[in-house]
Amino acid sequence: MDNIRWKVTDPLGNEIFLIKKVYNDHICGDHADNDSEVRKSLEEHVKYSIEHPRFIVKAPDFEGRRVYLDLADIAREDRIHVRPLFIVTEADGKIVTWFAKRSMNIKVPQDGGIIYDERTHRL
């Protein structure tokens, strides 16, 4: 298990894990320096967001993948940007990527597209 950077458990009991190579080569390595630094700064928030997501949905374009959705605060210059945080995993729990976007626009099927909604689990 030397190739695993860390593991956490989501609210549905699924073990979600990050492979070191995916972190180094794709999540941080495939991006410009400023984007890579933002992704690195989000790592602890990503762990928390998997354990306490706002939503878990089926990935619209990839069968078997899930997307964990939350909000993240990103410090840039003299401002804090609050952005949607997307964490994409394979069905087996392996993290594929994470990123913060300027807007949240994700379309999932009405029937079964939302796997987990934090609001309904608190009721």
Q: Please write the tens of the pLDDT for every residue from 29-72.
A: 776 666 677 778 889 999 999 999 999 999 887 888 999 999 99
Residue 109 has pLDDT above 90, yes or no: no
Q: Which residues contact 105 (CB under 8 A, 6 or more apart)?
A: none
Residue 21, pLDDT > 80, answer yes
The pLDDT score that the predictor gives to residue 106 is: 81
| Cα–Cα separations (whole angstroms), residue 17 to 13, 57, 69, 96, 123 | 13, 18, 16, 10, 28
Q: State the pLDDT at residue 86.
A: 93
For 24, phi then psi, to 5°, come to -70, -45
* The residue to which tokens 């390595």 are assigned: 29
* pLDDT for the residue numbered 14: 96
Number of compact structural domains in the chain:
1
Give the residue numbers spanning the domain of 59: 4-122
> How far, rounded to the nearest angstrom, does the alpha carbon of residue 47 sit from its chain's CA centroid?
8
What phi and psi values does residue 93 have, to the nearest 5 degrees? 100, -5
Q: DSSP assignment, residue 24?
A: I
51 contacts 8 by C-beta, under 8 angstroms:
yes
How confident is the model over 64-102, as pLDDT tens digits?
Answer: 899 999 999 888 788 998 999 999 999 999 999 999 888
Q: What is the pLDDT of residue 122?
A: 61
